Chains A and B, each alone.
Chain A
């Protein structure tokens, strides 16, 4: 799983039927400190995340498994909202949380 920041909502009236009832969010992958890393991607949201929230997501076949019916084509799924990353000695963390 990897860290990301939710940067937008993707609205698709016509979409794969197996994704019905789930939102698609645009997100920017980050490092644990929230610094952007790599290219933006779209993920299926399983945790009602909102724009601006730090989340973590799973990629690959396991993303499809996050939905109630695993028979769907998702390749990225948001599976948690980050409250806190505790990383002793992290830059700017003052030895505590980031």
Chain B
């Protein structure tokens, strides 16, 4: 899992049937310090996250299927939490 910031969402009329009715969010991965790092990804929303939210993102297919309560499909990246706070030692 990684921490990220939701920076947008994607509108896609034509998509794989497994993605039908799913909200697609653009997430920018963050370093531990909260700085943007690497390439933004597209994640399926499971927690009603929105633009500007600090989120926890899962990037693994089996876990994604469990979270979305569906058989294994072409989905691996899912927003699984909205981060309230990160306490760092």
Please list the residues of chain A having a beta carbon within 8 angstroms of any beta carbon in chain B: 1-3, 29, 31-32, 37-38, 46-48, 56, 58-63, 65-66, 70, 77, 79-88, 90, 98
Contact = CB atoms under 8 A, between A and B. Distances in A.
Interface of B: 7-16, 18-19, 24, 26, 39-43, 51, 61, 64, 72-77
A66 B15 contact: no
Given A32-B8, A58-B76, A85-B8, A38 B16 contact: no
A77 B74 contact: yes
B15 A79 contact: yes
Given A1-B43, A62-B61, A90-B8, A83 B77 contact: no
B40 to A, nearest CB: 5
A29 B11 contact: no
Name the prevailing secondary structure of the B interface residues: mixed
B42 A1 contact: yes
A86 B9 contact: yes
Contacts of A77: 74
Contacts of B13: 81, 83
A80 B14 contact: yes
A3 to B, nearest CB: 7
A62 B15 contact: no
Contact of B8 (A37, A83, A87): A87
Contacts of B9: 85-87
A31 B38 CA distance: 10
A47 B14 contact: yes
B56 to A, nearest CB: 17
Nearest to A70: B72
Given A62-B72, A79-B74, 10 more contacts: A32-B8, A62-B61, A62-B75, A65-B73, A66-B74, A79-B19, A80-B16, A80-B24, A85-B26, A90-B8
